[in-house]
């Protein structure tokens, strides 16, 4: 069984059924039925035309379902039973599905799940395992998303920014179960780059590659968080870094800067430094300035304050924090770090402990607790 091929064909086949007249939810259900049949029969004999086989079986499943529903309601089938002449390219169908799954009426969590299922070709079980939720919970989430799309005119699908945000949400979930969501997001981003001519799509792919290249060094024994400055850079994936930088340079050459390109440029500067001490913090501050103009995000301001503290000294970093809301996530941890850099160890220890109490994940809480203990140790005579 060629599972990667099946996953590549899923969005193409759904797109064909939608063009033939099926609504999105019914097409997706029909293709899942066809996949179940394929899993049962293909191990014995792979068809010469796998796509044609899935289209034929999926279309029959859709017609059977539509006829049963029509019979139940006592009305005639309202779909055309012959495909239109001149099928659209598979790339068009896949791109259309990217946008339909990011429909503006869907919550982000539902859009993510639907993208993984319809475009990524993952099963509900795989998605549930990756998100560490029961399969029934994920099935309900996907069903609600499809019901929300049912009966809606799909001539106004989600915009590209929504598609990219959904892919980045998938990437940031990391991995769990037998599906690596970060790798899956990169795979889907590569597809989107091949289907579009937008530099921001390439910027997102570059950002994912550059972050993913550092993955092996981000955690230590027992899942301990390792900050960027302390990571073993020999464990970074240099091939992935080279690819990410090349993709970014091609995007930047288009002179249509977007937030993902700016974030990728910051990640590239970190990746380019052989040691933490060699990081070009001045350039990083300049890229944060660009990113701030594009987004106005308080989170960007917070990260910029860290960069300012490295480029111009911790007091300058603390000054950059002055107009930010202290309730902002990571604000207390960043303040603690800058106070430590400035030599205010008692205040830094207290702030690290406060940040640990407010941490939302156990690895983060453990890391900040250790930082508080480390600084307190420095205070002892």
Please report, for the chain, the start and end positions of each structural domain, with discontinuous segments joined by +. 329-381
Higher pLDDT among residues 283 and 220, named by residue: 283
Confidence of residue 353 (pLDDT cuts 50, 70, 90): very high
The per-residue pLDDT for 51 is: 86
For residue 22, pLDDT over 60 is answered with yes
Mean pLDDT on 219-230: 89
Other beta carbons within 10 angstroms of residue 300's beta carbon come to 20
Confidence of residue 284 (pLDDT cuts 50, 70, 90): very high
The per-residue pLDDT for 316 is: 97
Q: Please state, in angstroms and rounded to a whole number, the distance separating the CA atoms of residues 21 and 19.
A: 5
Residue with tokens 């998938």: 170
For residue 83, pLDDT over 80 is answered with no
For residue 76, pLDDT over 50 is answered with no
Q: Please state, in angstroms and rounded to a whole number, the distance separating the CA atoms of residues 240 and 217.
A: 14
Q: Please state, in angstroms and rounded to a whole number, the distance separating the CA atoms of residues 249 and 264.
A: 10
The per-residue pLDDT for 179 is: 67
Share of the chain above pLDDT 70, in %: 88
Share of the chain above pLDDT 90, in %: 46
| Cβ(266)–Cβ(288) below 8 Å | yes
The per-residue pLDDT for 70 is: 54
For residue 201, pLDDT over 70 is answered with yes
Q: How many residues does the chain have?
A: 381
Confidence of residue 86 (pLDDT cuts 50, 70, 90): very low
Mean pLDDT on 198-207: 96
The per-residue pLDDT for 77 is: 36
For residue 176, pLDDT over 60 is answered with no
Higher pLDDT among residues 122 and 262, named by residue: 262
Confidence of residue 80 (pLDDT cuts 50, 70, 90): very low
Mean pLDDT on 324-347: 95
Higher pLDDT among residues 44 and 283, named by residue: 283
Q: Chain-wide mean pLDDT for the chain?
A: 85
Higher pLDDT among residues 6 and 285, named by residue: 285
Residue 287 sits at the vertex; the CA angle it makes with 286 and 290, to the nearest 5 degrees, is: 95
The per-residue pLDDT for 283 is: 97
Distances (CA, A) of 208 to 81, 185, 363: 43, 8, 22
The per-residue pLDDT for 78 is: 41
The structure's pTM equals 0.76
Residue with tokens 């019901």: 147
Mean pLDDT on 350-362: 93
The per-residue pLDDT for 185 is: 87
Distances (CA, A) of 319 to 40, 207, 284, 300: 64, 29, 18, 15
Higher pLDDT among residues 159 and 254, named by residue: 254
Higher pLDDT among residues 71 and 381, named by residue: 381
For residue 89, pLDDT over 90 is answered with no
Q: For residue 271, which of 231, 311, 318 has the smallest C-alpha distance?
A: 231
Q: Please state, in angstroms and rounded to a whole number, the distance separating the CA atoms of residues 311 and 126.
A: 44
The per-residue pLDDT for 68 is: 61
Q: Please state, in angstroms and rounded to a whole number, the distance separating the CA atoms of residues 118 and 15.
A: 10
Type and span of the H or E element at 176: strand 175-176
Lowest mean pLDDT among 41-55, 59-73, 314-328, 361-375: 59-73
Mean pLDDT on 294-318: 96
């Amino acid at each position: 069984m060629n599972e990667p091929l099946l996953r590549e064909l899923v969005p193409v086949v759904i797109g064909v059924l939608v063009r033939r007249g099926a609504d999105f939810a019914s097409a997706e259900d029909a293709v899942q039925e066809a996949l179940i049949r394929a899993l049962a029969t293909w191990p014995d004999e792979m068809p010469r035309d796998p796509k044609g086989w899935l289209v034929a079986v999926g279309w029959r499943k859709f017609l059977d379902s539509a006829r049963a529903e029509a019979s139940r309601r006592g009305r005639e089938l309202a779909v055309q039973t012959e495909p239109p002449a001149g099928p659209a390219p598979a790339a068009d169908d896949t791109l259309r599905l990217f946008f339909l799954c990011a429909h503006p009426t869907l919550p982000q969590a539902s859009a993510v799940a639907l993208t993984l299922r319809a475009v990524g070709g993952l099963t509900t079980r795989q998605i549930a395992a990756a998100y560490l939720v029961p399969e029934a919970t994920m099935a309900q989430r996907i069903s609600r998303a499809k019901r929300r799309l049912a009966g809606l005119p799909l001539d106004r699908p989600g915009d590209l920014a929504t598609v990219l945000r959904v892919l980045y949400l998938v990437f940031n979930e990391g991995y769990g179960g037998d599906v690596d969501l970060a790798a899956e997001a990169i795979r889907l981003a590569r597809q989107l780059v091949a289907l579009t001519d937008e530099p921001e799509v390439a910027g997102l792919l570059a950002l994912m590659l550059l972050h993913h290249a550092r993955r092996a060094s981000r955690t230590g024994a027992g899942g301990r968080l390792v900050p960027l400055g302390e990571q073993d850079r020999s464990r970074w994936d240099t091939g992935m870094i080279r690819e990410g930088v090349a993709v970014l340079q091609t995007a930047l050459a288009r002179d249509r800067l977007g937030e993902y390109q700016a974030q990728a440029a910051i990640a590239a500067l970190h990746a380019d430094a052989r040691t933490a001490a060699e990081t070009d913090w001045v350039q990083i501050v300049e890229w944060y300035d660009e990113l701030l103009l594009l987004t106005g995000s308080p989170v960007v301001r917070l990260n910029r304050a860290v960069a300012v503290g490295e480029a111009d000294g911790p007091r300058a970093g603390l000054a950059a924090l002055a107009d930010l809301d202290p309730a902002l996530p990571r604000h207390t941890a960043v303040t603690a770090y800058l106070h430590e850099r400035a030599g205010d160890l008692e205040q830094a220890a207290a702030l690290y402990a406060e940040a640990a109490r407010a941490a939302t994940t156990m690895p983060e809480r453990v890391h900040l607790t250790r930082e508080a203990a480390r600084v307190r140790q420095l205070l002892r005579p």
